[in-house]
């Protein structure tokens, strides 16, 4: 390839990012080069600032607070005994945008098509169990499995029901206003609000 090595390396790095293949990575690399040195310095500084971002010790959402908790877990007005288990940070943002949920969240991580939990997901699940046992006297009022309505989400829900049933008075799933195979991240506020209201 006739590209300089530095451009090749940034293309390889960008290709590792979600939803970006080699062709899109190449376009992005040329876009960055074309923006000039000032813009590149700003982009590098912004990327470096991500090193200051922390993960909440309760739910694994991002924050930059001085303590260990994100703004949601640290909010005393939230119902801590109602927990929505979600796959991704973008799912949390989508549900929050509906303004229909006042509980707390737990990010389990993206589920495979087989719904199998990886090692790091099992470690996260252990932290949720510890939280419920320690801070909720061993029982959550409700755990909402707000997983994507995909094959992986359905299989994952089956596993999570077995794991979490002893730790909740009630386990529910989002209503099926969400289309099969769809993703929470891309659902509109009204559809998500209906799915929350019609959970079962």
CATH of the domain at 67: 3.40.1360.10
Is the model's pLDDT at 195 over the cut of 80?
no
Is the same domain home to 98 and 146?
yes
Is the same domain home to 16 and 78?
no
User: Total structural domains in the chain?
Assistant: 2
Cα–Cα dist 98/182, whole Å: 17
Mean pLDDT rounded to a whole number for the chain: 90
**Neighbouring C-beta atoms of residue 173, cutoff 10 Å:** 19
Query: Element (H or E) spanning 42, and its range?
Result: helix 37-49
Is the same domain home to 73 and 120?
yes
* Among 79-93, 142-156, 165-179, the least confident range: 165-179
pLDDT tens per residue, range 7-54: 999 999 999 998 899 999 999 999 988 888 888 889 889 989 999 999
Sequence-distant contacts of 87-92: CB under 8 A, at least 24 apart: 87/111, 87/147, 87/148, 87/153, 87/184, 88/184, 88/185, 89/61, 89/62, 90/184, 90/185, 91/146, 91/148, 91/183, 91/184, 91/185, 92/61
Is the model's pLDDT at 175 over the cut of 90?
no
Q: Is the dihedral of CA 108, 112, 117, 118 positive or negative?
A: negative
- pLDDT in the model for residue 148: 85
Is the same domain home to 66 and 26?
no
Query: Quick one: pLDDT band at residue 183, thresholds 50, 70, 90?
Result: confident
Is the same domain home to 22 and 80?
no
Cα–Cα dist 106/114, whole Å: 20
More confident residue, 177 or 158: 158
In this prediction, residues 83-98 reach a mean pLDDT of 95
Is the same domain home to 94 and 106?
yes
Is the same domain home to 87 and 183?
yes
Is the same domain home to 161 and 85?
yes
Strand order across the 103-107 sheet: 103-107, 79-86, 142-145, 171-173
Is the same domain home to 137 and 178?
yes
Is the same domain home to 170 and 184?
yes
Is the same domain home to 105 and 66?
yes
């Amino acid at each position: 390839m006739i590209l300089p090595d530095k451009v090749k390396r940034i293309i390889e790095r960008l290709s590792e990012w979600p939803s970006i293949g080699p062709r899109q990575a190449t376009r992005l690399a040329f876009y960055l080069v074309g923006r000039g040195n000032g813009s590149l310095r700003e982009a590098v500084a912004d990327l470096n600032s991500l090193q200051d971002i922390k993960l909440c010790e309760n739910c694994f959402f991002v924050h930059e607070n001085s303590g260990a908790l994100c703004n949601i877990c640290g909010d005393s007005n939230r119902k801590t005994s109602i927990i929505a288990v979600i796959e991704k940070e973008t799912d949390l943002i989508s549900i929050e945008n509906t303004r229909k949920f006042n509980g707390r969240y737990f990010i389990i991580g993206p589920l495979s098509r087989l719904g199998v939990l990886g090692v790091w997901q099992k470690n996260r699940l252990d932290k949720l169990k510890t939280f419920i046992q320690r801070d909720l006297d061993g029982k959550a009022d409700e755990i909402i499995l707000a997983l994507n309505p995909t094959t992986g989400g359905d299989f994952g829900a089956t596993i999570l029901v077995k794991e979490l049933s002893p730790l909740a008075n009630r386990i529910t799933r989002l209503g099926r206003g969400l289309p099969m195979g769809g993703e929470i991240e891309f659902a509109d506020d009204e559809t998500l609000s209906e799915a929350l209201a019609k959970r079962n």
